[in-house]
Amino acid sequence: MNKLVQGIITPILTPMYEDESINFDELRNQVERLIGAGVSGLFCFGTNGESYILSEEEKYAVLEAVIHQTAGRVPIYAGTGCPGTRDTIRMSRKAKELGADMLSIICPYFAAANQTEIYNHFAAVAQAVDLPIVIYNIPPRTGNKVAPETVGRLARDFANIVGVKDSSGDFLNMQQYLEATRFREDFSVLSGNDALIFDNLVNGGAGAIAGCSNIYPKTICSIVELFKKGELAKALEVQRSLIPLRSTFKYGNPNTMIKCATKLLGYPVGNCRAPFNSIAPEGIAALKKVLEDGKKAGME
C-alpha cells in the first residue's frame, strides 16, 4: 500500500443553516472531528458535499475554509469535474491556486460520451493542471462509465493521474480497474461504495472515499487499520457492521440519508438543499434505530 492515495478519505459534508446558506463554523468543526478520528484525507464538494448544487463561489469558499482549518495535517481533495473540459480545467487551476493537494475529476455527465471523448477529457485536464488526479466513476449519477481500458490507458499515459474512485457498486468493474492498472505500483483504486471497502483492500485496492465516514469515521478507518495489521476477520466484522446503516438508504438519496444521520448524531449540519431533502417518517425512524444500535455497539 505504498501509494500517494490510500486509506479512508471522507467526502466531507457541506453544513448548512435552515436558509440553506453554508455553516462555516460547523464545517470547521467537522474538519477537526474527522481528522481527530484518523481519516487519511478530506474531499471537498464531492457527492456527499452536494457539489451538484453549490455555486462556484461557494465551492471556492468551502475549499479555502477546509484548507485553512486542516493546516496541512491531511491532504485535501477538490472535486472540480464539470460536464465540459474547459470548465473542468478552469476550476482545477483555481483549486490548485487555493492550495488543494489533489483533484477528483468526475466523468463528464448528462450528455452521452464515448470512451474516446472520456479519454480526451481526462488527458486534457492532466496536461493542463500539475496536480495529482483521481478519476471519479459514478455511472448511476453521470450516465457515463469510465471503462477499465480507458482507466488503464490514462494511467499509462499520465503520471499525474494517480487513482480512480469506483462508485459503480459493481465489484467486477473495480476488479477490472485493479487489473488494468497493476503495472503502476503508485496507482490507487478506491472504492466509492462503502459496502466494498474490505473487498477492495483484499484484492489490492488502496481504500475508499467513504460517504459513511461522515457518520462513523473511527469505525470505518478501523477497517483499513485492521487490514494493515493482518487482522482480516476483525476487519470483515467491522465492514459487516455497516450493513444496517446502508440498508436505510432505501428510504432516500444516500447522501441525504448520510447528512440526516450526521445531524441526528447531534452535529448541526442541516439538511441537504431542496429538493433533495425529503425522508419519509419511517426512514427517520429507521435511521434513529440504526444509530442507537450503533452507539450501543461502540460505533463512532
Active site annotation includes 165: yes
Q: How far apart are CA 224 and CA 218, in angstroms?
A: 10
> Pick the catalytic residue: 77, 136, 216, 251?
136
Structural contact between residues 50 and 11, judged by C-beta atoms closer than 8 angstroms: no
Strands 133-137, 102-106: parallel, antiparallel or unpaired by DSSP? parallel
Sign of CA dihedral 35, 170, 234, 253: positive
Name the DSSP class of 195. G
Long-range contacts of 65-74 (CB under 8 A, 24+ apart): 65/24, 65/27, 65/28, 66/12, 66/27, 66/31, 66/42, 67/98, 67/99, 67/100, 69/27, 69/28, 69/31, 69/32, 70/31, 70/35, 70/42, 73/35, 74/35, 74/39, 74/40, 74/41, 74/42
Catalytic member of 3, 59, 145, 165: 165
Q: Give yes or no: 136 in active site.
A: yes
> Could you tell me if 158 and 134 are in contact, meaning their C-beta atoms sit under 8 angstroms apart?
no
Q: Which contiguous run of DSSP H or E holds residue 266?
A: none
- Coarse DSSP helix, strand, coil percentages of the chain, rounded to the nearest 5 percent: 50, 15, 35
What residues are annotated to the active site?
136, 165
